[in-house]
């Protein structure tokens, strides 16, 4: 009877240690400032997880570059000095070449395709692969489709871009895209307002919310709706840290982050029409119907590029290209 009692207590203890939500403090990094897509995900996640864990889990958001560039944030996540981050797809492809697949130009034609692929098994393949570089990939949120702005001239066709100095993310594939489009691409970490203002660069490309939140309408006259790239964020945790959490805590974090991501994507999409109107009212001259076929044909041979020759990368690219035909 006594032995049975001890066993019973042990079983109860094991159950509790496996189900209790760990008391943890999470440092979460984003490079952008409040109001930005990344911050909306971060704040929603903080709200959900603190509520559900009854504040056992506390989140401190480090934003506006207080932890350095996106590359530097990712390095801190690898070392577990920062536990979580919402980071734009661009800088990821220097950590895991599989990320360059999603940065492929004109890959997703619409949001449904993006959601289906990224929330499905192909997205899961990329998230899993990140473990090799020390990240626990949780899910995807979004910047949105990227558009070109510049301060020199209206752009309708790739020829109009010739020689423009366009800032690109620190990503080999983004650099290659703008080289192929005839620009002089300048890789540079975020933020870039000062460089645009001083004319160190002529233009940049980003989704509409960036032009509004970062007030690019003050310093960029022309915008072209090129939608050349669906810009995603990967919402990650430090793998080293993740492995210290019990299953129940992991599950709660995973679910809260996914809900935050879905909330943010919807929020972002619902605001685009108003943003376009706002930017025009602020005086931006917008080319809404550029010659997209001409842009596409400049990057048509991209799957033969060196970046995509690694068999693992090529295999994922072919699967996604097939699924997005």
Q: Given the rule CB under 6 A, which residues bind ligand EAX?
A: 31-32, 88, 143, 169, 190, 206, 210, 231
Indicate the residue among 230 and 242 with the shorter CB distance to ligand EAX: 230
Indicate the residue among 37 and 59 with the shorter CB distance to ligand EAX: 37
Indicate the residue among 57 and 260 with the shorter CB distance to ligand EAX: 260
Report yes or no: 86 and 41 within 8 Å, Cβ to Cβ. Answer: yes
Residue 313 CB partners (closer than 8 Å, separation 6+)? 97, 98, 100, 101, 307
- Identify the CA nearest to 261 among candidates 98, 73, 53, 114: 114
- Smallest gap from Cβ 235 to ligand EAX, in A, equals 14
Distance (Å) of CA 18 to CA 23, 58, 249 = 13, 20, 9
- Smallest gap from Cβ 189 to ligand EAX, in A, equals 7
Indicate the residue among 103 and 143 with the shorter CB distance to ligand EAX: 143
Q: Within its chain, how far is the Cα of 324 from the centroid?
A: 20
Separation of alpha carbons 267 and 128, rounded Å: 27
Q: What does the block give as tokens for 22?
A: 């760990």
Q: CA gyration radius for the chain? A: 22
- Identify the CA nearest to 145 among candidates 55, 28, 272: 272
- Smallest gap from Cβ 275 to ligand EAX, in A, equals 14
Indicate the residue among 172 and 241 with the shorter CB distance to ligand EAX: 172
Indicate the residue among 73 and 317 with the shorter CB distance to ligand EAX: 73
- Smallest gap from Cβ 181 to ligand EAX, in A, equals 16
- Identify the CA nearest to 244 among candidates 255, 253, 235, 257: 253
Indicate the residue among 271 and 303 with the shorter CB distance to ligand EAX: 271
- Smallest gap from Cβ 9 to ligand EAX, in A, equals 52
- Smallest gap from Cβ 168 to ligand EAX, in A, equals 8
- Smallest gap from Cβ 99 to ligand EAX, in A, equals 14
Separation of alpha carbons 39 and 17, rounded Å: 33
- Smallest gap from Cβ 207 to ligand EAX, in A, equals 7
Range list of H helices, the chain: 2-19, 37-52, 70-79, 89-92, 99-102, 111-119, 121-129, 172-180, 193-197, 208-213, 239-242, 247-281, 292-298, 311-323
Indicate the residue among 53 and 226 with the shorter CB distance to ligand EAX: 226
Q: Which residue is nearest to ligand EAX (CB)?
A: 190
């Amino acid at each position: 009877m006594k032995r049975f009692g001890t066993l019973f207590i042990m079983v109860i203890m094991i159950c509790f240690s496996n189900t209790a939500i760990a008391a943890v403090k999470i440092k979460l990094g984003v490079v952008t400032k409040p109001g930005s897509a990344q911050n909306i995900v971060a704040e929603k996640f903080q709200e959900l997880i603190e509520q559900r864990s009854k504040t056992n889990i506390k989140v401190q958001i480090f934003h506006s570059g207080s932890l350095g560039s996106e590359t530097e944030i990712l390095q801190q996540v690898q070392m577990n000095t920062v536990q979580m981050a919402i980071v734009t797809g661009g800088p990821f492809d220097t950590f895991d070449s599989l990320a360059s697949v999603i940065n492929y130009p004109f890959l997703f034609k619409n949001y449904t395709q993006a959601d289906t692929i990224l929330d499905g098994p192909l997205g899961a393949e990329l998230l899993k692969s990140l473990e090799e570089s020390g990240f626990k990939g949780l899910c995807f949120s979004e910047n949105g489709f990227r558009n070109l702005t510049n301060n020199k001239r209206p752009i309708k066709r790739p020829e109009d871009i010739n020689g423009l100095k366009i800032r690109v993310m620190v990503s080999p594939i983004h650099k290659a895209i703008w080289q192929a489009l005839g620009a002089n691409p300048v890789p540079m970490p975020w933020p870039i307002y000062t460089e645009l203002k001083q004319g160190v660069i002529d233009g940049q490309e980003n989704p509409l919310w960036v032009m509004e939140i970062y007030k690019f309408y003050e310093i960029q006259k022309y915008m072209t709706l090129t939608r050349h790239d669906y810009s995603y964020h990967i919402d990650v945790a430090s793998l080293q840290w993740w492995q210290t959490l019990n299953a129940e805590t992991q599950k709660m974090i995973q679910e809260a982050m996914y809900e935050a991501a879905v909330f943010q994507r919807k929020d972002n999409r619902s605001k685009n029409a108003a943003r376009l109107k706002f930017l025009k009212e602020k005086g931006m001259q917008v080319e809404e119907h550029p010659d997209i076929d001409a842009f596409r044909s400049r990057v048509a041979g991209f799957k033969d590029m060196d970046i995509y020759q690694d068999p693992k990368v090529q295999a994922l690219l072919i699967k996604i290209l097939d699924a997005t035909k």
